[in-house]
């Protein structure tokens, strides 16, 4: 994301903070050094998973340059509660720092939820589930309704529009800059229809969206649960999941078993001619197995 785009997004988010006068991007609130041991992580923090590689990179940056962007905290009994900036806090801890620069502001639980959701939406590695969760939090706050009421309201608006509500929704989504509320309700919010176990894995950072979507398309629940476990253990690709979910799945599972046995690192240590032979043999084996499966299917059809 370009600097101009980040600034534009920040300005849009700042306009959503009307109830918090000193938190707009131009307010330049004072920054304090807050001891890390005095910062508590909120149980309802929207971000639940942090990429190990990205976190390691940030730790190195913090060691070399310190924490460049202050975190946001609010005073609570016994210290401070983190509102935004958990990744920076974790990186500072791993880098051996004892304090981080922080903006300290009084905020209600509702305001803290809003601010955390706004920061979450600005992440460059935002996944569809995080985006939906953050958007629901913001829309609920702006319309002063419970978060669980947002989607039913959006669907009701599509069926029977109420001009005043439509205007409010248009305004909020225009500020967020992530499409219209209609497209959100029709497309992005569909991730919430995934089975609960897949949503839990996504929120834990164990399963990314693309493979979760492939698993969610499997209607046979025992098969889906089985393939979910295999996906976690064997790192099945989206294509592997789709093959294993086919009605005639005996042959594809044989193909997948062969692929699983092939160690990419071991093959990579072979010379180029040997690597080419391995690929040729694998292609030949796959063709044989697929041909066998097709002949078996035709034979069953004739018998029936």
Cβ proximity of 34 and 99 under 8 Å: yes
C-alpha to C-alpha distance for 163 and 120, rounded to whole angstroms: 30
Taking Cα atoms as reference points, which of 56, 198, 205, 72 lies closest to residue 130? 205
Which listed residue (86, 119, 124, 274) is catalytic?
86
Partner residues linked to 82 by β-bridges: 41, 73
The alpha carbon of residue 216 and the mean position of all alpha carbons in its chain are separated, in whole angstroms, by: 16
H or E element: which one contains 275?
Answer: helix 272-303
Which residues are CB-contacts of 171 (< 8 A; sequence separation ≥ 6)? none
Residue 124 gets which letter from DSSP?
Answer: T
Apex CA 7: angle with CA 41 and CA 69, to 5°?
35
CA distance readout (Å), 88 to 41, 68, 69, 95? 12, 9, 8, 10
Cβ proximity of 73 and 39 under 8 Å: yes
Q: Is 131 a catalytic residue?
A: no
Q: What share of the chain is helix, strand, coil (3-state, %, to 5)?
A: 65, 10, 25
| Radius of gyration, CA atoms only, the chain | 25
C-alpha to C-alpha distance for 58 and 94, rounded to whole angstroms: 10
Taking Cα atoms as reference points, which of 264, 206, 251, 267 lies closest to residue 231? 206
Positions marked catalytic: 86
């Amino acid at each position: 994301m370009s600097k101009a785009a980040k600034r534009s997004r920040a300005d849009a988010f700042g306009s959503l903070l009307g109830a918090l006068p000193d938190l707009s991007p131009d307010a330049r609130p004072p920054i304090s050094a807050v001891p890390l041991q005095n910062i508590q992580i909120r149980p309802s923090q929207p971000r639940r998973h942090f990429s190990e590689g990205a976190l390691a990179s940030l730790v190195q940056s913090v060691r070399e340059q310190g924490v460049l962007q202050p975190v946001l905290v609010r005073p609570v009994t016994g210290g401070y509660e983190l509102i935004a900036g958990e990744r920076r806090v974790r990186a500072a801890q791993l880098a051996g720092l004892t304090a981080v620069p922080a903006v300290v502001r009084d905020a209600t639980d509702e305001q803290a939820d809003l601010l955390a959701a706004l920061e979450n939406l600005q992440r460059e590695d935002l996944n569809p589930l995080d985006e939906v969760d953050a958007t629901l939090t913001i829309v609920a706050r702006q319309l002063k309704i419970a978060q669980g009421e947002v989607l039913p309201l959006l669907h009701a608006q599509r069926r029977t529009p109420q001009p005043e509500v439509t205007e409010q929704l248009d305004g909020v989504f225009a500020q967020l800059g992530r499409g219209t509320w209609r497209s959100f309700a029709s497309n992005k919010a569909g991730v919430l229809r995934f089975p609960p176990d897949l949503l839990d894995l996504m929120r834990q950072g164990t399963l990314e969206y693309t493979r979760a979507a492939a698993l969610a398309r499997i209607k046979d629940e025992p098969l889906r649960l089985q393939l979910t476990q295999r996906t976690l253990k064997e790192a099945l690709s989206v294509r592997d999941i789709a093959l294993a979910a086919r009605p005639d799945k005996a042959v594809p599972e044989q193909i997948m078993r062969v692929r699983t046995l092939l160690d990419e690192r071991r093959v990579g240590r072979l010379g180029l001619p040997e690597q080419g032979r391995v690929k040729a043999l694998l292609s030949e084996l796959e063709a044989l197995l697929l041909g066998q499966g097709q002949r078996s299917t035709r034979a069953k059809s004739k018998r029936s």
